[in-house]
Amino acid sequence: MSENKKIPQLESYEAIGEFWDTHSLADYWDQTEPAEFEIDPDARRRYLVAVDPGLLKQLQKVARQRGLATESLVNLFLAQHLQEITS
């Protein structure tokens, strides 16, 4: 590794992604360290639910406007509505 190749401290996931899109981890390997973690197979299950095509387009538009994944917006809306009807 040359002395001028340091992994920068970036402030957003977008900036981190842009950095690694244009750089090779091989050039920074000596600056990495092992990480240990466990993955819960039940943490993120996917369920197929039929959604009206027009409704899906509206959801996708709102999700884009809010900077969210459509899936995240649907989960947020469902959680909010469930809270309203069960409170």
Spell out the domain ranges in the chain: 1-36, 44-87
SS3 40: coil
Is residue 3 a contact partner of residue 27, using CB atoms and an 8 Å limit? no
Tell me: the pLDDT tens digits for 60-82? 999 999 999 999 999 999 999 99
Answer whether 0.85 is exceeded by the pTM: no
Distance CA 18, CA 8 (A): 12
Q: Over 60: is that where the pLDDT of 7 sits?
A: yes
Return the CATH number of 44-87, one of 1.10.287, 1.10.1220, 2.60.40, 1.20.120. Answer: 1.10.1220
Nearest to 74 by CA among 66, 86, 63, 83: 63
